[in-house]
Amino acid sequence: MNPVATIGPADLDERRLREMLDLVGPASEMRLLQSLVGDLTAARTALARALSAGDKSAVSAQIHVLSALAGTFGAPRLAAAALALEQRSRGGPVMTDGAEVLAMTDRLTEHLSDRLRAGPELQP
């Protein structure tokens, strides 16, 4: 299987996201989107808190969630940036520069929230 990536706004591979939504079926796709937005928001908040507190293990736990979400739902750049942040935080001093990951997460969350507000009839 070698799908051509269709990277759209917020660095999102729309085809991959559509595959995931199709997997749960039309009746549950809004619930999945809602859940995804909730998970991204929670992970983003907890990551920001962990970064400012310099809590490496909490950073690692939230990166685990973020990279899994990003990889699964079609945001490979966010997944890669998150894993790179974890690598840096493991080897070097306590991380405070997760701004890029936080900003990418914000863009993705915003994009998905817009889709959620638009409702299922506007899905591609």
Other Cβ atoms closer than 10 A to 62: 27
Closest separation in Å from C-beta 43 to other proteins: 8
Closest separation in Å from C-beta 24 to other proteins: 5
Closest separation in Å from C-beta 65 to other proteins: 6
Counting every residue, how long is the chain?
124
Residue ranges that bind other proteins, judged by CB under 8 A = 1-3, 5, 20, 22-25, 28, 31-32, 35-36, 38-39, 60-61, 63-65, 67-69, 71-73, 79, 83, 86, 91
